[in-house]
């Protein structure tokens, strides 16, 4: 099979397409013929050697894939063969075939393509399970930073579907228009100096962090919840969290949320619900570009240079 490997840590041009023997499923695993693999910042960090736990050079990146089950290992029901599925793979998805534990595999409903499944994938799971952890309620005011990014695009839609009033922060008039098309009530363009201030929020969804984190924590309403998902804007200064103390009498809650902390059954149930929402047309998968597998290096370059709108997917 064709696969993309990281032969040594470095820039996007280290990525190499190689021929490798198709893996065989171990007990409890399925072999998936990949139709789409997700490209995320986590893969960029793994390629650079910045992601813990560190993979030894020579690994195939890619934490999520969708396609058709081609074979099953010992102890796995044969009915999986031929099923269209999405899977969290841990690594290995940048390939024509990938292994996954059967507990990490979710069946895809009719009407949800492989590319759509990975475009929802990790990003929708993070947004959905994070909002659930923050006990999102109808009628609440939700602010989403990095709204045009992978997690942001899912968070704005899911918060709106929960009946919340959503404010999205993004970085251009074009991205603002596309967010309005997705049903966002209020859009703020940070390149025009709009930053969500002047209002307060029950929930702030933040995949950006960076130097402004403390200022955003101060925008929480009483009993507000802050969902920190990542640091696309850089790691915050240690004193940013001091805002929790200065706003102490509002009883703020800070959730740092990683999908890695959630058990497989909970992830599987959430993924099945998200794919049903997509099949019904309630939740939209947003794909920036479907890139051929052999051009994985270009997908990484794009992710690291210009902001993408939605997901980059790889097509073997
Ligand atoms: N918690 C988890 O389990 C989990 C899972 C996957 C990824 N992550 C992490 O979450 C973060 C975001 O992931 P993603 O896939 O959503 O990334 P992404 O698609 O690159 O989106 C990030 C968005 O943040 C905004 N942004 C970027 N730099 C900024 C800056 N300096 N200041 C303000 N806004 C900025 C941009 O949106 P606009 O242009 O629209 O403003 C950008 O599109 C990453 O750090 C990633 O590693 C966490």
Residue with tokens 């171990």: 26
Q: Say which CATH class 2-112+285-315 falls into.
A: alpha beta
pLDDT of 52 strictly over 90 = no
Distance CA 295, CA 224 (A): 43
Q: Over the stretch 17-30, which tens digit does the pLDDT of each residue have?
A: 999 999 999 999 99
Q: Over the stretch 207-243, which tens digit does the pLDDT of each residue have?
A: 999 999 999 999 999 999 999 999 999 999 888 999 9
Q: Which two tokens stand for residue 60?
A: 């195939």
pLDDT of 144 strictly over 90 = yes
Q: What is the pLDDT of residue 307?
A: 86
pLDDT of 54 strictly over 90 = no
Is residue 109 very low, low, confident or very high in pLDDT (cuts 50, 70, 90)? very high
Tell me what the mean pLDDT of segment 265-271 comes to: 98
310 touches ligand 1 (CB under 6 Å): no
Q: How far is CA 236 from CA 47, 203, 231, in A?
A: 23, 19, 8
Q: Probe ligand 1: pick from 207, 271, 302, 313, max atoms within 8 Å of CB?
A: 207
Burial of 59: CB neighbours in 10 Å, binned 0-12, 13-18, 19+: middle
Mean pLDDT estimate for the chain? 96
* Nearest atom of ligand 1 to the alpha carbon of 42: 47
Q: Say which CATH class 122-259 falls into.
A: alpha beta
pLDDT of 203 strictly over 90 = yes
Tell me what the mean pLDDT of segment 83-89 comes to: 98
What residue spans define the domains of the chain? 2-112+285-315, 122-259
Q: Over the stretch 181-196, which tens digit does the pLDDT of each residue have?
A: 998 999 999 999 999 9
Distance CA 299, CA 132 (A): 31
Q: 311-315 and 253-256 as β-strands: parallel, antiparallel, unpaired?
A: unpaired
Q: Specify the residue with its C-alpha closest to ligand 1, atom 43.
A: 149
46 touches ligand 1 (CB under 6 Å): no
């Amino acid at each position: 099979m064709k696969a993309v490997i990281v032969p040594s840590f470095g820039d996007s041009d280290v990525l190499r397409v190689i021929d490798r023997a198709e893996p065989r499923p171990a007990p409890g695993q399925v072999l998936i013929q990949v139709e789409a693999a997700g490209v995320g910042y986590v893969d960029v960090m793994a390629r650079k050697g910045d992601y813990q736990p560190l993979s030894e050079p020579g690994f195939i990146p890619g934490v999520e894939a969708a396609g058709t089950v081609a074979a099953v290992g010992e102890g796995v029901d044969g009915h999986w063969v031929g099923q269209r599925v999405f899977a969290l793979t841990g690594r290995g998805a940048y390939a024509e075939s990938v292994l996954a534990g059967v507990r990490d595999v979710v069946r895809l409903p009719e009407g949800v393509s492989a590319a759509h499944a990975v475009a929802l994938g990790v990003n929708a799971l993070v947004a959905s399970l994070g909002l659930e952890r923050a006990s999102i309620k109808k009628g609440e005011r939700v602010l989403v930073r990095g709204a045009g990014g992978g997690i942001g695009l899912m968070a704005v839609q899911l918060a709106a579907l929960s009946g919340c009033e959503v404010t999205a922060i993004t970085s251009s008039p074009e991205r603002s228009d596309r967010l309005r098309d997705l049903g966002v009530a209020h859009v703020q363009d940070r390149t025009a100096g709009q930053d969500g201030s002047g209002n307060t929020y029950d929930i702030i969804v933040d995949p950006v962090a960076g130097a402004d984190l403390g200022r955003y924590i101060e925008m929480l309403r009483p009993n507000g919840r802050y969902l920190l998902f990542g640091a696309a804007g850089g790691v915050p200064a240690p004193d940013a969290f001091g805002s929790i103390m200065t706003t102490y009498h509002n009883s703020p809650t800070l959730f740092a949320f990683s999908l890695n902390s959630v058990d497989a059954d909970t992830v599987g149930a959430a993924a099945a619900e998200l794919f049903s929402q997509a099949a019904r047309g309630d939740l939209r998968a947003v794909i920036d570009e479907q890139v051929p597998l052999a051009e994985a290096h270009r997908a990484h370059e794009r992710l690291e240079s210009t902001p993408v709108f939605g997901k980059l997917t790889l097509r073997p």
